[in-house]
């Protein structure tokens, strides 16, 4: 059976760091409130979706040790493309000197898992090597006078190269979901800012993450005790805590980077996953559960068997 596995990865964060103290000079908020209610201490702001994607993708290509001309597709998950057309993935493809298919995908904060699963679909019909990227520059669509959203959102990117393999690959189970009837809870019109009913998103987020994780695990034929590391969407540490408690995964087996990154939407799961990998928190053969939720309201999860590149 044809499948795929990650052979290299990279991440990128803008240089400019904005602390909670910095935000408290711009709006009626404070470090104590933000830390207690969200877990976020700092976030990185700046760059464009293309520049951050190019940086993380270049690192992933270098780590993979591959000839870039062997890449036959770029899948870029983003809710913040640099232009309406062309897709930002086209800019990234050209900057990296690639000649292959390239498209953007928007499934909000679930986007990286969507892109990873879609890339497996392409592998199953003949693609050999793909670049999968999750990047967002949410600071550009954030209303910096709205303390309900400005304390959460930030910029970043994570990328990986995945290779076709003939032994079934590392993706053991997946789930993609959406409920468009809830679009009023979290949206940004073209050219406009993010609007969010934070309380309602919070309430539903926990439920849909747990539900999606259960579906992926069932497809993989695994239980929660098999999971060595859970990599949830980095939105709010209270959401992560509540979802992991309901799933029965202790925080020691959960990847959390949001204290340093804020909510970077498409980049949040790859930033957390590759931080854990870089720190040696994942061993060969470990079962990793990625699970996200976002506007739309989308949910996505994937159970993978980690393979050391």
Dump the DSSP string for 278-292.
HTT---TT-EEEEEE
Can residue 19 be called a binding residue for ligand UT7 (CB under 6 A)?
no
Q: Is 259 in the site for ligand UT7 (CB under 6 A)?
A: no
Region of 62-70, 122-130, 219-227, 235-243 interacting with ligand UT7 (CB under 6 A): 235-243
Query: Which of 17, 37, 42, 241 is in the footprint of ligand UT7 by CB under 6 A?
Result: 37
Measured distance CA(268)–CA(188) in Å, rounded: 19
Return the SS3 of 261: helix
Q: What b/e readout covers 69-99, taking b as 16+ CB neighbours within 10 angstroms?
A: eebbbbbbbbbbbbeeeebbbbbbbeebebe
User: Which positions from 282 to 301 touch ligand UT7 by CB under 6 A, shown as an x/- string?
Assistant: ------------x-------
- Give yes or no: 94 in active site: no
3-state helix, strand, coil in the chain (%, to 5): 45, 30, 30
The backbone torsions φ and ψ at residue 169, rounded to the nearest 5 degrees and listed phi first, read 80, -170
Active site residue 233: yes
Distance CA 295, CA 293 (A): 7
Stretch that binds ligand UT7, among 123-131, 220-228, 231-239, 249-257 (CB under 6 A): 231-239
Of the candidate residues 41, 128, 140, 147, the single one contacting ligand UT7 (CB under 6 A)? 147
Candidate residues 123, 127, 201, 243; the one interacting with ligand UT7 per rule CB under 6 A: 201
135 binds ligand UT7 (CB under 6 A): no
Which stretch, 31-39, 73-81, 93-101, 155-163, contacts ligand UT7 (CB under 6 A)?
31-39
DSSP string computed for 8-23: EEEEE--S-EEEHHHH
Residue ranges that bind ligand UT7, judged by CB under 6 A:
29, 33, 37-38, 109, 147-148, 151, 196, 198-199, 201-202, 205, 235-236, 239, 263, 294
Just list the catalytic residues. Answer: 109, 233, 263
């Amino acid at each position: 059976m044809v499948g795929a596995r990650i052979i290299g990865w990279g991440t990128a964060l803008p240089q400019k760091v904005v602390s909670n103290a910095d935000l408290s000079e711009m709006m009626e908020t404070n470090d104590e409130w933000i830390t207690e209610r969200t877990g976020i201490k700092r976030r990185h702001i700046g760059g464009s979706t293309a520049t951050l994607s190019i940086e993380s993708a270049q690192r992933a290509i270098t780590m993979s040790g591959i000839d870039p001309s062997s890449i036959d597709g770029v899948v870029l998950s983003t809710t913040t493309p640099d232009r309406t057309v062309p897709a930002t993935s086209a800019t990234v493809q050209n900057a990296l000197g690639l000649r292959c298919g390239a498209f953007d995908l928007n499934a909000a904060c679930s986007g990286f898992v969507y892109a990873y699963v879609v890339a497996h679909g392409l592998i199953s019909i003949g693609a050999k090597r793909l670049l999968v990227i999750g990047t967002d520059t949410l600071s550009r669509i954030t209303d910096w006078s709205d303390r309900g959203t400005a304390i959460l959102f930030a910029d970043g990117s994570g990328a990986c190269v995945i290779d076709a393999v003939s032994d079934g690959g590392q993706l053991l189970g997946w789930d993609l979901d959406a409920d468009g009837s809830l679009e009023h809870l979290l949206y940004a019109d073209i050219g406009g800012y993010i609007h969010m009913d934070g309380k309602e998103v919070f309430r539903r987020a926990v439920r849909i993450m747990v539900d999606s994780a259960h579906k992926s695990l069932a497809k993989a034929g695994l239980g929660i005790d098999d999971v060595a590391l859970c990599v949830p969407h980095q939105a709010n540490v209270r959401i992560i805590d509540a979802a992991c408690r309901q799933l029965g995964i202790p925080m020691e087996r959960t990847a959390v980077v949001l204290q340093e990154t804020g909510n970077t939407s498409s980049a949040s799961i790859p930033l957390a996953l590759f931080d854990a990998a870089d720190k040696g928190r994942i061993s060969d053969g470990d079962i990793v559960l990625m699970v996200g939720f976002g506007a739309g309201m989308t949910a996505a999860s994937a159970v993978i068997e980690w393979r050391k590149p």
